[in-house]
Structure 1
Amino acid sequence: MPGVIEHTVFAEGRLSIGLTLPMLSSGNAVADFDEQIALARLADELGFAALWVRDVPLNSSDYPDPVGHLDPWVLLGAVASHTKNIALASGAIVLTLRHPLHIAKGAVSVNTLSRGRFILGLGSGDRPHEYAAFGIDANERREVYRRHWDTVAAAIGREPRVIPDQSPPDAPEFFLLPTSPTPVPMIAVGSGGQSVDWIARNAIGLMTYHREPEKQRARYSMWRAAVDRVAPGEFRAFGVAMGLDLAADQNEAAEPRSLGYRTGSNDLIRILREMRENGTHHVTLNLQASKRPTREILEELAAEVLPEFQIRA
């Protein structure tokens, strides 16, 4: 049974809507983080389900994302202190490039600051050269991911315990303080090189990127089959990150774009209904492609789209 904050984001037969930070206008690669905090507060007030924060340790000329992302723990801490109800999620902390005990400390810290509103999304990263910059062999990422996941899960679970890398005979028993107000739910963002059975067994769910509807239905069917195999009768969430360029004309027909759509709000509602019917429980919208003022987009989404897709605790 999911906790309260999980239930407002992920629920059987329902679909909720979140937003990905930063929210930038088209062509703008430099975020005004005072504005981002103000937009986070607005999203909270308007009733969006979650705010997702990415982890981009290093930028490079061959990396297609030109945005200068803040360290996720710094941004999550700031957002936690300026919001009250909205869930906060990492999408995703690069589990393989950070020490798992540092990740656990960050997760407990954000969960404490947000009073139990944090969902820890974990990914493996996908750039071999970035692995090399950190002195890690990219070919070992699957094993590192599993090992680090187990250490984080032990440290932030219902009966938290620290699993040290090394434990000499005279070592004390370590623990994390402050104590988290609630266990921190862990969701896999991407596969991390793991099987869907492993993810269904160890995570509260799977977040993936937008695909053409038929391919996404097949992906969900594979996920559902894995859940039925390893956790029969239990709920496991399925979420999607989707790009959105919301047209000013509410009746503008949806046009597929890279990892999402340009569409008016009426066709967006149709798309979200179909996603809900096909098994998606949460969609986080990436508004970076939009040419409209972000505040205007959030207010339109809240007025026209959210009423059908909000989940109450």
Structure 2
Amino acid sequence: MNASENTPMSSPIANSVFAQDKLSIGITLPITRDNDSVVDYSEQLSLARLADRLGFRALWVRDVPLNSIEYPDPVGHLDPWVLLGALASNTERIALISGAIVLTLRHPLHVAKGAISVDALSRQRFILGVGSGDRPPEYAAFGRDPDTRRDLYRQHWETLAAAVTVPSRVIPDHAPRGAPDFYLLPRHNTSIPMLAVGSGGQSVDWIARHSLGWMTYHREPQAQRGRYSMWRAAVDRATSGAFRAFGVAMRLDLSEDANEPAVDISLGYRTGRRALVALLREMRENGTHHVTLNITSERRAARDIIEEVAAHVLPEFHC
């Protein structure tokens, strides 16, 4: 497949989240307090409706197949397709993004069926973010060899991209003599944008050729600038200067004091809103097109943080 077949950049929902020289802001679900393992998903849907109404650009949903006491994340995540279906029914405008479906542990045709279903329910508001997973013991639990992760990711990407791109086609694992030609229903008239979340064991050149963009975790500003420069060079090599998005997942502990300076925390910042605006402006200037906020706080309700960001931060960027 060529890059244009795998990067449907004309998608209106992709363009609302990722645009040249602009920065948009989303939210990662679920929103929990530190060390919480039980999530009230009725409240999460309420927060999703609030984010949609207040103008956030995207809701991100993780895929966490299994839990272990050895893992740092104790949260009881819902199956991503179930949660995305609920979000599709509870929101109107906001993009829904998987961040990220573990492509190496799921059959790509099952992923394609889920993606097409969510896209239909949400009226073409879905962006399909995929990754390869970063927990090797899960590979053994699913009967996979972690040493095959890189090749498996590429193979599954090809099958998945063929199925969710218009015109859609099914690439079977095996096609015995006399096997019928398969297709996926419901029919979709527009391609579903595909986004690389993490590297999936691939080079940045491969990602630039095949994905609408690259989503990474937060790093300190100098490291992030270096990462964007590496990405921009890969895009220029692979696509002759075409636009490819760059996004960041950032943890946010928003202070009640609007003037509190930013302090580094793991994968993000504790900060007041004014310093948050300054940080996001710098990220935009350095080439970041989207930031999804992983909101956390032991002191404030998530609803209050969402409302403050919407009132005082979004107007700086969503214009």
The answer to whether TM tops 0.5 is yes
Where does residue 234 of structure 1 map in the other structure? 242
> 1:88: how far off?
0.2
The structure 1 segments of at least 4 consecutive aligned residues displaced by more than 4 Å after TM superposition are none
Where does residue 169 of structure 2 map in the other structure? 161
1-structure distance, mates of 2:298, 2:119: 31
- The answer to whether the aligner puts 1:134 opposite 2:162 as a matched pair is no
For residue 60 of structure 1, the aligned residue among 48, 65, 68 is 68
Counting only pairs closer than 5 Å after superposition, residues 6-45 of structure 1 correspond to structure 2 as 6-45=14-53
For residue 259 of structure 1, the aligned residue among 240, 246, 267 is 267
1-structure distance, mates of 2:45, 2:246: 27
- The answer to whether the aligner puts 1:171 opposite 2:211 as a matched pair is no
2-structure distance, mates of 1:44, 1:182: 23
Are residues 280 and 88 of structure 1, via their aligned partners in 2, closer, same or farther at CA, if it must alter by over 3 Å? same
CA contact (8 A) 1:111 1:117 kept: yes
> 1:289: how far off?
4.1
2-structure distance, mates of 1:245, 1:42: 19
What is the DSSP-based 3-state SS (H/G/I as helix, E as strand, rest coil) of the residue aligned with 1:270?
A: helix
> 1:240: how far off?
0.1
- The answer to whether the aligner puts 1:122 opposite 2:130 as a matched pair is yes
The alignment-based identity, stated in percent, is 67
2-structure distance, mates of 1:32, 1:96: 29
> 1:245: how far off?
0.2
Which sections of structure 2, spanning at least 5 residues, go unmatched?
1-8
Where does residue 229 of structure 2 map in the other structure? 221
Q: Which stretch of structure 1 is more off in the superposition, 153-162 or 27-36?
A: 27-36
CA contact (8 A) 1:95 1:124 kept: yes
Where does residue 49 of structure 1 map in the other structure? 57
Where does residue 188 of structure 1 map in the other structure? 196
2-structure distance, mates of 1:242, 1:216: 12
CA deviation string 1:100-142 (max 9, x = no partner): 0000000000000000000000000011111000000000000
Where does residue 243 of structure 1 map in the other structure? 251
CA contact (8 A) 1:109 1:180 kept: no
2-structure distance, mates of 1:26, 1:65: 9
> 1:182: how far off?
2.1
> 1:177: how far off?
0.2
For residue 89 of structure 2, the aligned residue among 70, 81, 90 is 81
Which sections of structure 1, spanning at least 5 residues, go unmatched?
none
Root-mean-square deviation (CA, aligned residues, Å) is: 0.9
2-structure distance, mates of 1:33, 1:4: 29
What is the DSSP-based 3-state SS (H/G/I as helix, E as strand, rest coil) of the residue aligned with 2:81?
A: helix
Where does residue 120 of structure 2 map in the other structure? 112
> 1:291: how far off?
2.8
> 1:7: how far off?
1.1
Task: Give the count of matched residue pairs.
Answer: 311
> 1:25: how far off?
2.7
> 1:161: how far off?
0.1
2-structure distance, mates of 1:11, 1:261: 24
CA contact (8 A) 2:260 2:272 kept: yes
> 1:181: how far off?
4.2
> 1:232: how far off?
1.2
1-structure distance, mates of 2:281, 2:229: 17
Where does residue 293 of structure 2 map in the other structure? 285
What is the DSSP-based 3-state SS (H/G/I as helix, E as strand, rest coil) of the residue aligned with 2:315?
A: helix
